[in-house]
Each structure stands twice: as structure tokens, then as C-alpha cells.
């Protein structure tokens, strides 16, 4: 079974609007971490936001927020006020357990295009 | 500025060649990882290492080997390159435990002809 599922291969959003990128995960470990990374066309992977399984509040980092619904096992990324520079691939990732060598599982990614 | 450096940005190799992809980090991270990235498949873990001379297979180790003789360096070796190993290869490093995520290198796009 897939550990991380991203069901949106590609999305379009109008500049200055908000957009939600979907991510669902599968784990039986009570302790896990969820990450979102951005990959522009240049190829580097940029860390955006982190959510721990025991965190009580949804994570926020500037224009990025993570809509964490534990019972549904979803960790959707919300980007507010989209900018042209947000056009990129976005990957959701999960780390299981506190002592699992920090091994990550990645989703297949969502390509976001921001239209002017 | 902390860095993970991959030795080559682009590589073209012939089928059957032995290929070395090098990765160096300057953050004193214990863990280092090699992933390959293919469209529609995301990132898949090939091998990782949690200490010098230690290595663990990831999800797709076939056709690859690794070497970690020094803490800062993690090499991915394609013993006999094949066309189905044409891909983007990403190296990452992290501390062994805690909340920290990965720091990635900029990737090596390998083409095997």
C-alpha cells in the first residue's frame, strides 16, 4: 500500500488566490511527522512546513499552512495568496516513528501552475 | 550556508559503464540518503546510511550499491548502467533523530544511452 498519496498530478490557480494541495497518508505508527517540499524547475527541494502527529495545532509558515486531519489521515497544504513564484512541483512526505533513521516516504507530487 | 553538494548536475553514460554519483554534506549529519525521482512516481529510496560504513537498502536497491567511508560523503554506484536507470538522482542528509527534515542536494540528471 502507498504510504503517501497525492491524487492531483497537476493544478492551476489564479494569482493571489488560495490553493489546497491534497495529501493522504497511511501508517499504524502513533508517532510520525509530515512534511511538504517544493521543487521548482531548477530541481532543488525546498522544505516548506512540518506537522508532528502529536501537535495539537495545525502548522503554519508564512503563506503556507497545513490542514491536519488526523482521523482522516490527511495533511493538505494550503497556500494563501498564490504568487507566480509558487509554480513548482510539491511533494508530501512522511517519517514514521522517532527512531526510524529519519527515513522518509514521498508522494508522487502535484505540479502547481499559477496563472497571472 | 549549509550544503549538500552533488558532484554533477548532468551526466551522460553508456550502457554497461560503471557510474559513480558523489554527495558531500557539511552539516555533520549522521544520515544520508539516495533517492531517484521519476515522473508520476515521486521520490523512491534507493539506499541510506546512518553512520560511516553502515548502509541499508531502501525500496529499490537493485542495480545499485553505495559507499560511505567518511561521514560527510555518500557515494551511489551503478555497477553496470542500464537505460532504465536514466533518472534524476537526489541526495539528502539529516540528523539521526528529532524533528528535522532533510537537506537536499540539487540533483544529478543521469542519462544512460
What ranges in B10-109 are assigned the alpha helix state H? Answer: none
C-alpha closest to that of B58 among A112, A88, A34, A101: A101
Is residue A51 within 8 Å of residue A75, measured between CB atoms? yes
CB contacts of B105 in chain A (<8 Å) are 44
Interface check B45 vs A, CB under 8 A: yes
CB contacts of A44 in chain B (<8 Å) are 104-107
- 3-state DSSP call for residue B82? coil
Pairing mode of beta strands A110-115, A10-14: parallel
Gap between the Cα atoms of B20 and B17, Å rounded: 10
Q: Do B48 and A101 touch (CB under 8 A)?
A: yes
Interface check B10 vs A, CB under 8 A: no
Cell of residue A75, nine digits: 495533511
Is residue A19 within 8 Å of residue A88, measured between CB atoms? no
* Cβ-nearest to A101 among B50, B88, B101: B50
Instruction: For residue range A39-92, list pLDDT tens digits in order.
Output: 999 888 999 999 999 998 999 999 999 999 999 999 999 999 999 999 999 999
Interface check B110 vs A, CB under 8 A: no
Choose, out of B2, B31, B42, the residue to mutate when testing the contact with A (most A CBs < 10 Å): B42
Compute CA B85 distance to the chain's CA centroid, rounded to the nearest angstrom: 13
Give the HSE-up count for residue B21: Cα atoms under 13 Å, Cβ half-sphere: 37
- Per-residue pLDDT at A99: 65
- Per-residue pLDDT at B97: 66
- Per-residue pLDDT at B41: 87
Gap between the Cα atoms of B10 and B7, Å rounded: 9
The pLDDT profile of chain B, 113 residues, written as one tens digit per residue, is 669 999 889 999 999 999 999 999 998 999 999 999 998 888 999 999 999 999 999 999 999 999 999 999 999 999 999 999 999 999 999 887 655 678 999 999 999 99
Give the HSE-up count for residue A25: Cα atoms under 13 Å, Cβ half-sphere: 29
Cell of residue A20, nine digits: 489546497
Chain A residue with CA closest to B3: the answer is A44
Beta bridge partners of A25: A4
Instruction: For residue range B17-46, list pLDDT tens digits in order.
Output: 999 999 999 989 999 999 999 988 889 999
Gap between the Cα atoms of A21 and A98, Å rounded: 26
Amino acid at each position: 500500500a502507498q504510504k503517501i498519496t497525492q491524487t492531483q498530478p497537476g493544478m492551476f490557480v489564479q494569482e493571489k488566490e488560495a490553493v489546497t494541495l491534497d495529501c493522504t497518508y497511511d501508517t499504524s505508527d502513533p508517532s510520525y511527522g509530515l512534511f511538504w517540499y517544493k521543487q521548482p524547475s531548477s530541481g532543488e527541494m525546498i522544505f516548506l512546513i512540518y506537522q508532528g502527529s502529536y501537535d495539537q495545532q495545525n502548522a503554519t509558515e508564512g503563506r503556507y499552512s497545513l490542514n491536519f486531519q488526523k482521523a482522516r489521515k490527511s495533511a493538505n497544504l494550503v497556500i494563501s495568496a498564490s504568487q507566480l513564484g509558487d509554480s513548482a512541483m510539491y511533494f508530501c512526505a512522511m517519517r514514521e516513528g522517532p527512531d526510524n533513521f529519519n527515513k522518509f516516504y514521498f508522494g508522487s507530487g502535484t505540479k502547481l501552475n499559477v496563472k497571472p | 550556508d549549509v550544503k549538500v553538494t552533488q558532484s554533477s548536475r548532468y551526466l551522460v553514460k553508456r550502457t554497461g559503464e560503471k557510474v559513480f554519483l558523489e554527495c558531500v554534506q557539511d552539516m555533520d549529519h549522521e544520515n544520508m540518503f539516495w533517492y531517484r525521482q521519476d515522473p508520476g512516481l515521486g521520490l523512491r529510496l534507493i539506499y541510506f546510511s546512518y553512520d560511516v560504513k553502515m548502509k541499508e537498502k531502501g525500496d529499490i536497491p537493485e542495480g545499485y550499491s553505495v559507499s560511505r567511508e567518511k561521514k560527510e560523503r555518500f557515494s551511489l554506484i551503478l555497477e553496470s548502467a542500464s537505460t532504465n536507470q536514466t533518472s534524476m538522482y537526489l541526495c539528502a542528509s539529516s540528523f539521526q533523530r528529532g524533528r528535522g527534515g532533510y537537506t537536499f542536494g540539487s540533483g544529478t540528471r543521469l542519462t544512460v544511452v
